[in-house]
Amino acid sequence: MEANNPSDTGARPDPEELRELLEEDGPELSQPPSGAASKVEEEDRSLDFLYDVPLQVSVELGRSKILLRDLLKMGEGYVIELNKLAGDPLDLYVNSRLIARGEAVMVGDKFGIRLTDVVSTSDRIEKLG
């Protein structure tokens, strides 16, 4: 008795058979099953309310610790030494969480930041806890 089904014999299918099976037009996988499209649209709509949530965005040039007596002596022209070197990237924080690093740029007559390195999603999630 001849075995046509490779699973009956434990043998692997012939590579040509695999190619033919893969090339055959099967059901369209890019289209979600009926009803699934509306679920995706509902999920998109349900997240829309998040787009208007205000976030605190800040850019840090550097940090320094000073004594209270030095703080009280501060006046115009006083210089505070920061922990970063000139040319080091600026840190971009959103709600006190480091999100990216970048460089200062001028946008018209205002300062901006050009992002050069975005913290990966996995690193951001890891630092949440």
| Structure confidence at residue 3 as a pLDDT band (50, 70, 90) | very low
Could you tell me the domains of the chain? Answer: 55-126 (2.30.330.10)
Q: What is the pLDDT of residue 123?
A: 81
> What pTM, to 2 d.p., does this model score?
0.55
Q: What is the pLDDT of residue 50?
A: 85
* Model confidence pLDDT, tens digit, residues 85-124: 988 999 999 999 999 999 999 999 999 999 999 998 888 7
Q: What angle do CA 102, 64, 123 make, to 5 degrees?
A: 45
* Model confidence pLDDT, tens digit, residues 61-91: 999 999 999 999 999 999 999 999 988 999 9
| Structure confidence at residue 15 as a pLDDT band (50, 70, 90) | low
Distance (Å, rounded) from C-alpha 37 to C-alpha 21? 28
Residue 51 structure tokens: 């787009």
Residue, of 89 and 13, whose pLDDT is higher: 89
Helices (H), the chain: 6-9, 15-23, 36-47, 68-73, 121-126
The DSSP code for 21 is H
Distance (Å, rounded) from C-alpha 21 to C-alpha 25? 9
